[in-house]
Amino acid sequence: MFIVGLTGGLATGKSTVLSIFRENGIAVIDADDIARKVLEPETKAWKELKEYFGEEVLLADGKVNRGKLGELVFDDIEKRRKLNAITHPRIQSAMMKMAISYFFSGHNYIVMEVPLLFETGKMLTFMHKIITVVCEDHQQLKRLCKRNDFSLVVAKKRIDCQMPLEHKVANSHFVVDNSGEISNTRHQTECIIRTLKRSKFTWYFRSIILITLMSLIFGITHLMGVINNNYSNWQ
């Protein structure tokens, strides 16, 4: 099994592309979904978050107010570092556990959506292929304003804080342009799916695992034989 990293900019359509992979029967891991689970009320991360940031980042039902939290950490480097220290290791650990589970379930590959894949760099070594989702600048700005109820000034500031899409594209194996109709996005994504299905890396990887296991079994069997022979000679 190999891992395909899916990334892009804010509001470029990563979730849309991920859903197309899911609809085609591909196992997917959504970092945003895991982040929500990591910060569910009464979890260790939630308790640490509450202790550091206080009640102001919580809604009435105890869930994390992601909008408020984003406002607090956006212009404060120390708070952003603290938030990352609380959440990132747990999110990454949960994602890798899911990946291992999919491996033992027999999946040829999985798609792992990681918004800050290039910015953090911590998951890059696990990615066999990388897909970046892009769209026109004006569309990205408009979508982010609509989705998060941001002003144009705030939305542009948030986008500018991330690595430019051009840099991500230059370091990716595939690019999905989500500027047009959903049918066009679906066509591009399904072309990538067909390419990934033809990859022989899965069989190469499984052969290495099989050879390793067989070597281990042979080694243990041989060692047991030597021990038994020595024990017989000693008697």
Domain residues for 228? 203-235
Same domain flag for 158 and 224: no
Same domain flag for 15 and 99: yes
Q: What residues contact residue 214 under an 8 Å CB cut-off, 6+ apart?
A: none
CA angle 162, 130, 37 (to 5 degrees): 65
Predicted confidence (pLDDT) per residue in 49-74, tens digit: 999 999 999 999 999 999 999 999 98
Same domain flag for 234 and 178: no
Same domain flag for 210 and 129: no
Same domain flag for 164 and 223: no
pLDDT at 204: 47
Element counts in the chain: helices (H) and strands (E) = 11, 5
* pLDDT tens sequence for the chain (235 residues): 889 999 999 999 999 999 999 999 999 999 999 999 999 999 999 999 999 999 999 999 999 999 999 999 988 999 999 999 999 999 999 998 999 899 888 888 999 999 999 998 888 988 999 999 999 999 999 999 999 999 999 999 999 989 999 999 999 999 999 999 999 999 999 999 999 988 765 544 444 444 454 455 555 654 555 454 544 445 5
| Phi-psi group of 111: left, alpha or beta (phi > 0 → left; psi -120 to 50 → alpha; rest → beta) | beta
Number of domains forming the structure of the chain: 2
Structural contact between residues 133 and 6, judged by C-beta atoms closer than 8 angstroms: yes
Same domain flag for 130 and 21: yes
Same domain flag for 160 and 223: no
Residue with tokens 């290039």: 118
Alpha-carbon distance of 145 to 143, in angstroms, equals 5
Q: Residue 123 corresponds to which amino acid?
A: M
Same domain flag for 180 and 222: no
Same domain flag for 195 and 219: no
Q: What is the pTM of this model?
A: 0.82
Q: In the beta sheet, which residues pair with residue 157?
A: none
Coil, helix or strand at residue 4: strand
Same domain flag for 119 and 146: yes
Same domain flag for 173 and 230: no
